[in-house]
Structure 1
Amino acid sequence: MKKIIAFTKYAAAFALGFITNFSGALNNIASIPSSYKELKKVYFYNGSTISGKWSNNTEYLLGAGELGLAYDQPKIIMQVDANEHDEISGEILSEDLCEALPITWVVSIESPEPGIFSLFSNRKLYIKQLRNNLMETVAIMEITSLDDRKGTISLQRVADPLEILPEKVSLAKNLPAFDDDFKEISEFCADSPKRFREKLKSMKLGEDA
């Protein structure tokens, strides 16, 4: 709602300038492309702000309570980058996610460039898995808050048929334990296909017995 009100003020100011100062309005029209870029930085969740290494394990961090992260979450790591068009891409991993998607643990997280209609909704993040040489969407999260000062982000589950992620996720940027968590979760996920095959094999043996 705040984004909508702010944008309405922005649009109203432009319209007023057009009515009261036609020649100035022509200059405003010429500067719309650059103005829109600035608008996105102010009123959208900017990709450069979201870029980075995110996780929720606050080990080694003094005063971690000030970040407001939920302590009942499983370990989750997310690493994303944004290009010049503000498109976001990267990866997200957790042990639960890899166990739910064991065929391949190539799991990405993406968000297209925000358009003008993004003012009316939170920015969506699409979690995708490699299947048959195509990245298929398996879950959708949305950004409900982003605190650049604290370096925290809050996500809400929008669509997740397999329930591979918690309903709500809160992460912080550049936590000291990120590299350790990345190594631990990556090694666990690398064995997920093997555990899945062994589970299928034991189920088959049970049926044959």
Structure 2
Amino acid sequence: MSARIVSICTVISLLIGVATFYFQFRNDMYENLYQKKFLTGKWSNDADLIINSKDLGLNNNEPLVTIQMNVDDDGSIDGEIISEGLCDGMPLTWSITFNGESPTFKNFVFARKFQVRQLVDGAMDKSPVVATLKLIEEDRKHKSLTFEVVDDPARMLPKKFTVAKDLPKFEENYKYLQEYCADSTLEFFKKRAIERKNTMHNPNPS
């Protein structure tokens, strides 16, 4: 009888051990897949004040870009991206999102893709994708990411750019880009007003 109890206890202990290993393994896998702690935050590419900017892969010749990312519980990403090119290309709004679907295990092999969307009719989730980016390099040591732009019909973004996390001039850069976007919108409406005025004065140009 005691031998049977010992056998049952051994089996139970084995099952508990297997379950513990499985859940730990699963949690580690999803942590590496979702990268919630690493990706969530403020990213930009202004190398000013960074003495080892080359280690981060930053290049001051690249157009200024800021990205804010938040990784949801399912690993999907909701965020915002802003640059002069995006604002000039979409002057009616500078509510421009940076989104990524929940990653799968294939993303351990294939690069993860992100979509840039513009706010249309008060909806973001169903708004049109204006550009698609592919994450081609991660440097966890220096907290930097390199993206390749794989689809950008309006050519609003550089073909490739690198951003790093929590750079000292992020807030200054973000404020500058917000103001630039506001000016871009104002210039757009001024230009349209002039065009309408010219059309009214010259309804049938020869």
TM-score (norm 2): 0.80
- 1:101 match: 90
- 2:68 match: 79
* Contact 1:92/1:108 (8 A) holds in 2: yes
Instruction: Return the alpha-carbon distance in structure 1 between the equivalents of residues 101 and 76 of structure 2.
Output: 5
* Contact 2:47/2:60 (8 A) holds in 1: no
Q: Which secondary structure state, in structure 1, belongs to the residue aligned with residue 119 of structure 2?
A: strand
Q: Which secondary structure state, in structure 2, belongs to the residue aligned with residue 73 of structure 1?
A: coil
Deviation of 1:30 (Å):
8.3
Instruction: Return the alpha-carbon distance in structure 1 between the equivalents of residues 133 and 18 of structure 2.
Output: 36
- 1:145 match: 137
Larger Rg: 2
- 2:5 match: none
Instruction: Return the alpha-carbon distance in structure 2 between the equivalents of residues 162 and 32 of structure 1.
Output: 47
Deviation of 1:143 (Å):
0.6
Q: Which secondary structure state, in structure 1, belongs to the residue aligned with residue 55 of structure 2?
A: helix
Equivalent residue letter for 2:64: K
- 2:77 match: 88
Q: Does 1:169 align with 2:161?
A: yes
Q: Does 1:115 align with 2:104?
A: yes
Unpaired segments of 5 or more residues in structure 1?
1-23
Unpaired segments of 5 or more residues in structure 2?
1-13
Deviates more, 1:198-207 or 1:137-146: 198-207
Instruction: Return the alpha-carbon distance in structure 2 between the equivalents of residues 158 and 67 of structure 1.
Output: 22
* Contact 1:45/1:123 (8 A) holds in 2: no
CA gap of 1:105–1:147, structure 2 versus 1, over 3 A, is same
Q: Which secondary structure state, in structure 1, belongs to the residue aligned with residue 48 of structure 2?
A: coil
* Contact 1:67/1:150 (8 A) holds in 2: yes
Q: Does 1:66 align with 2:66?
A: no
Pairing of 1:1-209 with structure 2 (within 5 A): 28=18, 32=22, 34-42=24-32, 44=33, 46-135=35-124, 136=127, 137-208=129-200, 209=202
Deviation of 1:82 (Å):
1.0
Equivalent residue letter for 1:35: F
* Contact 1:52/1:80 (8 A) holds in 2: yes
CA gap of 1:100–1:94, structure 2 versus 1, over 3 A, is same
Equivalent residue letter for 1:181: N
TM-score (norm 1): 0.79
Shift >6 Å, 4+ stretches: 24-27
Alignment root-mean-square deviation, CA: 2.3
Instruction: Return the alpha-carbon distance in structure 1 between the equivalents of residues 34 and 75 of structure 2.
Output: 10
Instruction: Return the alpha-carbon distance in structure 2 between the equivalents of residues 186 and 129 of structure 1.
Output: 15
Equivalent residue letter for 1:188: Y
